[in-house]
Amino acid sequence: MAHVNVFDTTLRDGEQSAGVNLNRLEKMEIAKQLERLGVDIMEAGFPASSQADFDAVKEIADTVRGCSVTGLARANKRDIDIAWEALKGGAEPRLHVFLATSPIHMTHKLKKTPDEVVQTAVNMVRYAREKFPYVQFSAEDALRSDRDFLVHIIEQVIDAGASVINLPDTVGFTTPDEIGSLFRYVREQVPNIDQAVLSTHNHDDLGMAVSNSLAAVENGAGQIEGTINGIGERAGNAALEEIAVAFQIRQDRYDFQTGLVLKEIKRTSDLVSRLTGMQVPGNKAVVGRNAFAHESGIHQDGVLKEATTYEIITPAMVGIDSNRMVLGKHSGRHAFKQKAEELGFELNETKLKEAFASFKDLTGKKKEVTDDDLFAILTDTQTEHEDQPKYELKAFQVQYGSINRPTATVLLTKPDGEEAEKANTGEGSVEAIYNTLDDLIDADVHLQDYQLSSIGRGRDALAEVHVQLTVNGVKASGRGSAQDVLEASAHAFLNAVNRTLYQHKRHEGYEKVQV
């Protein structure tokens, strides 16, 4: 079976999803899990976009050894130089440089003639190749580009040193037959195409990203680009977990395979969902909570008699284990540490002690602590900055009644160590808490979005809240979990505010880009 490289862009294109703002620790945690998943190439970010992104890409490149780490760069020397500084410590430094090739982009965005675009692409690929052993060139908006122009520019950049050619459907416009036709055409018309790997990167605006990716592979693509859970700009990208499982289940149709460790899929999906705040729809293929649920009596009867009657994918294949070790109030530190490692977390002694304390506190409130509960505790602990000044909730109280206006009293510790207490009202209990926190925080804070969900099921399930704020004009996201909805809401609000204390971004020249 032919091997197809997996190019994961969760940390770059995925992070460009509206409302997603990962910090350095969160990016590193996802990067380590992507390494366990077995991706071939990991796009860690866009180093030239900000100091924070540069730092995160550099740390990931210096740490991850199981795959090639790459970063995005526009076709200019500044971006390429900054990317090299971030990536040069990687096990296999790689650059992803892009330039638009469609008439609409060249005319209205680049304001360059086709000849100028070709010359820029060639010069920048050649310049990048002086530093990087591997250079990928992306023809942005390839599916709306003139085919003969694509053939010409691809031939030129391969001669200049590009080893991977990406033909992205940047706006999610194409169909499987169209993209298949394009990849065949390029393979047949570019004389030196055997010197490069063709890559496919598809957006899901029309809901065909996965189908288009499969069609591209059938017609010569040796690399698939996508994200975990299909997150990304607008409607997102091709979902890598769906493609990998499709190859596995339909081996009769697809004579291809990836190096992904399928049993790591669910864990990776859960981690990305929790840290980005983008909930996985219940009916999402492969990883949705209903993917293996059977409501119909006929279906239930069939599955009980023989699972394959209605299940083409086994839960165990993607890492859903029904034989889970349950932890409770009598579980010790050793069992907790073992379970944390089983869930993919490597905690230092300080964080292990903190997480164990949170676990013990939860066992006093819940009879049975589930894997989902532990995952929430461990994720929060692992991605919390140590020894950083922050606002910390000490106590709160809410007075509420159907005929009374809700009133919240909050006591917190400020970053300078001073304790402060205030009270305020709101139309609802959450608003009363947020109005009070707003009074206590020394910043201009505005709530943009609020999402509430449960971790697990049952009346004692943890509540999880994700918020999006602007803090002094800077967008920030936060999350919080607790058995009480109001406490989770308060933690999420403070988490978002505290994140802004660690962000030191250089905004000059910053722009989110898409390929």
Cα dihedral 349→355→357→358 (10° resolution): 170
Rounded to a whole number of angstroms, the CA Rg of the chain reads 25
Report yes or no: 60 and 27 within 8 Å, Cβ to Cβ.
yes
Report yes or no: 6 and 221 within 8 Å, Cβ to Cβ.
no
Say how far apart CA 469 and CA 474 lie, in whole Å: 8
Tell me if 203 is assigned to a ligand binding site: yes
Tell me if 371 is assigned to a ligand binding site: no
Report yes or no: 71 and 53 within 8 Å, Cβ to Cβ.
no
Q: What angle do CA 400, 402, 404 make, to 5 degrees?
A: 60
Report yes or no: 33 and 289 within 8 Å, Cβ to Cβ.
no
The DSSP annotation for 462-487 comes to EEEEEEEEEETTEEEEEEEEESSHHH
Say how far apart CA 257 and CA 464 lie, in whole Å: 37
* Residues linked to residue 412 through DSSP beta bridges, in sequence order: 393, 420
Say how far apart CA 289 and CA 282 lie, in whole Å: 5
Residue 191, number of CB atoms within 10 A of its CB? 10
Tell me if 53 is assigned to a ligand binding site: no
Say how far apart CA 89 and CA 430 lie, in whole Å: 46
Q: How far is CA 292 from CA 263, 270, 455, 477, in A?
A: 15, 16, 18, 31
Mode of pairing for the β-strands spanning 2-3 and 256-257: parallel
Helices (H), 191-312: 209-218, 240-249, 265-276, 297-305
Residue type, 495: N
Report yes or no: 503 and 23 within 8 Å, Cβ to Cβ.
yes
Q: How far is CA 175 from CA 212, 292, 311, in A?
A: 6, 29, 28
Helices (H), 88-227: 103-105, 114-129, 147-160, 176-189, 209-218
Say how far apart CA 493 and CA 451 lie, in whole Å: 12
Tell me if 385 is assigned to a ligand binding site: no
To which H or E segment does residue 155 belong? helix 147-160
Structure token pair of residue 478: 């936060």
Report yes or no: 428 and 406 within 8 Å, Cβ to Cβ.
yes
Q: Which residues are annotated as a binding site?
A: 13, 201, 203, 237
Show binding-site residues for Mn(2+).
13, 201, 203, 237
